[in-house]
Amino acid sequence: MRQPHYADQGSAAEPRILPLPAVAGVAVRDLVESVLAGHAARTPAASAVTVTVDVPAAAVLGGDPAPFRVVVERLVASAFAAASAPRPHGEGPILREVVITAVQGADALELEIADSGPSSSADDRCPAHVRELVARCGGSLHVAACAEGGIAVTVRVPRREARRQAA
């Protein structure tokens, strides 16, 4: 079997592996914390809502974060509004809670924003402009009622892989 030939080295040279450039991205936890801080500054009633953030530091969003940020801002505002909404007397304990979680998979990032507010329609929580922004990110959106009350909105954005181009 013949050894590969390398233009700048002799035939016995070891193949060189060139490093790929680092994939740029935005840390999802930083983005979520920034959105929460902005919401708290604009909405004094937000302090009455308990917030839990479970987003791994390694979760990264590739591509342009601007449309994704707007989606998170709208969904956070909607979740806080629902969690703060008055409930009919006798409906059980009043929990005022928003939980934000993320999972970074091999093929996608999933971000879920759940609240303890009253159940409502998907259109109330995710208006058309939010759905359009998610679609522009190449993602999908799913709305589900939580078993313990409230709504969970999951945004799934495909992971953008670094692509090698041959010369």
Q: What is the mean pLDDT of the segment spanning 85-109?
A: 82
HSE (CB half, 13 Å, CA atoms) of 45?
10
Residues 6+ apart with CB under 8 A from 131: 141
Q: Is residue 9 over pLDDT 60?
A: no
The per-residue pLDDT for 89 is: 63
Is the distance from CB of 75 to CB of 155 less than 8 angstroms? yes
Q: How far is CA 81 from CA 32, 78, 151, in A?
A: 17, 5, 12
Q: pLDDT for 115-164, tens place per residue?
A: 988 877 667 778 899 999 999 888 999 999 888 788 999 999 998 653 33
Q: DSSP class of residue 128?
A: H
Domain positions in the chain are 48-86+93-158
Residue with more model confidence, 113 or 123: 113
The per-residue pLDDT for 32 is: 97
Alpha helices, DSSP H, located in 17-137: 28-42, 65-84, 122-125, 128-136
Pick the CATH number of 48-86+93-158 from 3.30.565.10, 1.10.3720.10, 3.40.50.620, 3.30.1490.20: 3.30.565.10
Residue with more model confidence, 133 or 11: 133
Extract the tokens encoding 115.
Answer: 């609240």
The per-residue pLDDT for 115 is: 93
Q: How far is CA 67 from CA 32, 141, 150, 161, 167, in A?
A: 13, 14, 25, 19, 33
Q: pTM of the entire structure?
A: 0.77
Q: Binning pLDDT at 50, 70 and 90, where does residue 108 land?
A: very high
Q: pLDDT for 25-38, tens place per residue?
A: 899 999 999 999 99
